[in-house]
Structure 1
C-alpha cells in the first residue's frame, strides 16, 4: 500500500475551490479553474460546464443527505446544528410587505427599454409618419397590442372614448369625429389624434369631473379657424402623450413637433415682432410645445418656451396697453405663470413671470389650477422670500425676514378657498392638498422645519391620505406638487403613516408615493418619471446625511432660521430640482 505524501509544514493549506467548473464538481475532483476549459476537462475531452448550481434543502432531505454543511460541523466543534429553543410567546412576526415593480427606485425594466429603443426611434424618423401609422400590423406585434388602434376604412378610430373616471361631454365631441371639420388637417391619417386629445388628454388636465378643461373648451374651438401649424402643435402633443403607452407614436410626435418648430422659428425670424406678438395663435403653439417638452424629458427645453412666452406677453402688453385679454389668452398667460411659480418652489430660481399674474384676494378655486389664485400668490411670496434669504442675507435682515415670514404665515392660516360647486369633492381635495403642501413648504423653507418636525409629520400624513383617495379613483391631475412636497419631507425613519381600517394592515409612505407616481406616469400630463428621479435622489441623500432636528414650529409667530443658514429644503431638495415641472 503506497504511503501518503508527507505534508510540507511550510506550505499553506490548500483552500477549497469556489469557482471550479460544474463538470469537475460532479466528478468530485479538484478543478484548476482554467478558462475557457480547465485541464481536467481538456485531458478527458469533456464539456467544461460553468454556471451556478441551485440546491434545494427539501430535495436533500428526501434523499437522507445533509444540506451543505448543515448538521456536519460548526466553529465550536459541535456536530449538531439544531436551532436554539425559543419561547413562542416572545416571537413576533413582522408583516411581509407587498412588493410591486414600481417599488424599485434604483433601476427599472422601463428605464433599460427606453435606452435600447432610442436608436430605433431615431432611425424610424427617416420614414414618413403617415406610412408608419397606416401600415398594417401583424397580430401580436408590440404596436397592435399596446396601442389598441383599429383601422376603419381610411381613418383610425381610438377606443378611448371615455376617460378613466367617466365620459367627458362637450359640444366639440361630434366635431372631432369628423375630419372634414378641420380643412387644415393635411394628413387625414392623423385624425385619430384629435379624438385622443379631446377624449383622453383633456380630461387629464383637471381634477374636476364637473368642470370642462380649458384645453378642450378654449383651445379646440380656436384651432378650428387657426392655421395648420396650431393644429399640428395639438397633434404633436397628443402623439407624444400616446407614445407613453406605445413607442411607435414617438417618431410621429417628433416629426410633428419639428414641423411646428420650423414654421414658428421662420415666423419669428422673418415677420415683424409686433405682428407675431399680436397673433393669438403663437402663445397657443408655445403652450403646446411647452407641454410637449415636459412630457418628453422635462429638461431645460420647456423652460426655453417659458421664457419665450414671457417675452411675447411683455411685448403684447406694451402694444395693447390697458386692453383686457380674452379668455383664451388669459388662460395661456396663467398656464405659463403657474408653471413658473410651482416649478420654482423646488429650486428657488429667479422668477420668470411676476406676481402680478396672481390676485391676492381671489379666493375661488380654479378647476385647472386645483387651487385658488390667492394660494398661488402665497406660494410665490414664500419662494421669493426664501430666495432673498439665500442670495442676499444683508437685504433679508433677521428682523425684516421674521416680519415677512410671519405675514405669510398669517395669510396662509386665514386662507379661505371658495368653490363655485361645493359638491365637487375631487376639486375640494385638490385645493386642500395644495393648501397642506403650502403649509409644509412654508415651514421647511422659512422656518427650518424638517421631516421629524411634528407639524410636518402631521401635514404629510394628511396629504398622503388625500393622495391615496385620488389614486384609488384614477384621479392624478394636480397631484404632482403635493406628492413632491410630501415625498421630499417624509421622515425616512417613520415610514408607517397609518393603518388601513379595512385590511388592518399598515400603510407605508414610500410605497404609497411610488404607487401614486406609477399611476401618474400613465394617466397624467406631468412627467412623473422626472419627479420620481428627483424624489428618490432626495431619499438617498437623507439616508446618507440625516437632517438636523430644529425646534418644532407649531404655533404662529415661531422664530425663523438664521438668514445665512441653509434650511432643510435648501439642503436636500433644491440641489436636485433644476428645470422641474410640478404643475
Structure 2
C-alpha cells in the first residue's frame, strides 16, 4: 500500500483545517488540467493555505523546529500542487524550504537528545522527508544540478521496494552515485583520474545489473515488482548516457529503449495509474529520431512509430497521474526538435572522444530540463 494511503491519509483525517485545504487545493488543481472551471477554486484554496502557513511561521516561529508534522505535510501538498500545475518552478522553492526546516529540526533534536542517540521520528514526518529527498534525486537526473538533500536517505543494502517510489532505496542510492560521478566527470584530467572514474563506473553498472529488488509483502502486486525492474533497466540507460556517452543511435540504447517502451505499454494496460513518468521520459529523450518502427501494435498489427507511441503513452498517463506529464511532454518535444535540427550533422553518430567531453545527455536533455519533476 502506498504511504499516501497508509500514513498520510490517516493523519489527514484528524489534521488541522489547513492540511485538508491543501489536499483540496491539490485535487482542484489536478481536475483543472482537464476542466478549467476548477482553476479559480484551486488558486483560492492555495492562497488560503499559503496565508495560513505565513501567519503561523510569523506568529509562532518556534513551530519550525517542533516535531509537529503539519508544516512539512502542507509544504508537501503545495509542492505537489506546483508540480501538477505544469511543473511551476515554485515547487523547487518548497523543496528548498523543506530542506532548511528538516535541517533545523534535526539540529534541534540532536541538541535535545544528544548526537550519539538515534532520533526517532513519527511516520508522517519520515515520509514527508522521503518525499522531498526523492523529488530532489529524480529531478536531478534530468537537469544534473547539485543535490539539495544528501545521500543519507538511500541505504545501499535496502533492496525492499517502496511502493510509492516504485523502486528500492538501494536503486536510488545507485542513481545518486551515478549523478555524483557524472558531475565530477568534467574535472577528470590525469591518467589516474581516468582509471578511477572507469573503475567507479564499472562498479555502478555491476551493482545495477546485480541488484535484486524485493517486494515488502509476499505475493505483493506484480505491477509494483515490474515497475521496480523497469526503473532498474532505465537506470542502466541513464548510466550509459551520463557516464559512457552513449547516444540514441547506439545499438545497446535502441535495445533498452524498445524494452522500456514495451514494458510501459504493458504496465499501463494493467494499472493505468502506475507512476512510470521517469522511465518514459528517459526512453523518449533517448529515442532514435529515425526509429520509425519501435514495436508491433496489437490492435492494428502494424509497426508503431516511436514518437507517436510516446505521445500516446503521455496522453494516457496525464488522465490519472498526479505529476507534471504536461511539462515532461514539453521537454521531450524540445529534445526531439533539437535532435531533428542536428540530424544532418556528422556528429550524430559520434560518442564523446573523452570522458570530459560534453555527452549526449548534457547536450540535448540538461539545457531544457531545469525544475522538471520526474518522481
Q: Answer yes or no: same fold by TM over 0.5.
A: yes
Q: Which residue among 402, 427, 452 is the counterpart of 2:224? A: 427
- Structure 1 counterpart of 2:202: 406
CA separation of 1:418/1:216 partners in 2, compared to 1, >3 Å: closer, same or farther? closer
- Assess if the C-alpha contact under 8 Å between 1:447 and 1:561 holds in 2: no
- Structure 2 counterpart of 1:468: 265
Distance 2:5 2:291 in 1: 43
Q: Which residue among 274, 298, 304 is the counterpart of 1:507? A: 304
Once the two structures are superposed, residues 62-110 of structure 1 have per-residue CA deviations (whole angstroms, 9 ceiling, x without a partner) of xxxxxxxxxxxxxxxxxxxxxxxxxxxxxxxxxxxxxxxxxxxxxxxxx
- Structure 2 counterpart of 1:568: 360
- Structure 1 counterpart of 2:211: 415
Distance 1:359 1:550 in 2: 37
Q: Normalising by the residue count of structure 1, what TM-score does the alignment of the two structures yield?
A: 0.60
- Structure 1 counterpart of 2:180: 384
**Which runs of structure 2 are paired with 1:269-418 in the superposition (5 Å)?**
269-273=58-62, 275-321=64-110, 322-390=118-186, 392-394=187-189, 397-418=193-214
CA separation of 1:561/1:418 partners in 2, compared to 1, >3 Å: closer, same or farther? farther
Q: Which has the higher contact order (CA 8 A, sep 6+)?
A: 2
* C-alpha deviation, 1:394, in angstroms: 4.9
- Structure 2 counterpart of 1:496: 293
CA separation of 1:273/1:297 partners in 2, compared to 1, >3 Å: closer, same or farther? farther
- Assess if the C-alpha contact under 8 Å between 2:64 and 2:101 holds in 1: no
Answer yes or no: is 1:577 the counterpart of 2:369: yes
- Assess if the C-alpha contact under 8 Å between 1:520 and 1:526 holds in 2: no
Where 2:212 maps in the other structure, the secondary structure is coil
Distance 1:334 1:293 in 2: 18
The unaligned stretches of length 5 or more in structure 2 are 111-117
- Assess if the C-alpha contact under 8 Å between 1:346 and 1:580 holds in 2: yes
- Assess if the C-alpha contact under 8 Å between 2:57 and 2:64 holds in 1: no
Distance 2:184 2:66 in 1: 33
- Assess if the C-alpha contact under 8 Å between 1:240 and 1:250 holds in 2: yes
Once the two structures are superposed, residues 48-73 of structure 1 have per-residue CA deviations (whole angstroms, 9 ceiling, x without a partner) of xxxxxxxxxxxxxxxxxxxxxxxxxx
Distance 2:27 2:316 in 1: 19
- RMSD of Structure 2 on Structure 1 (CA): 1.9
Answer yes or no: is 1:246 the counterpart of 2:40: no
Distance 2:298 2:55 in 1: 60
Once the two structures are superposed, residues 150-188 of structure 1 have per-residue CA deviations (whole angstroms, 9 ceiling, x without a partner) of xxxxxxxxxxxxxxxxxxxxxxxxxxxxxxxxxxxxxxx
The unaligned stretches of length 5 or more in structure 1 are 1-210, 552-559
* C-alpha deviation, 1:353, in angstroms: 0.6
Give the helix-richer structure, 1 or 2.
Answer: 2
* C-alpha deviation, 1:561, in angstroms: 6.0
- Structure 1 counterpart of 2:114: none
Say which is worse superposed, 423-432 or 282-291, in terms of deviation: 423-432
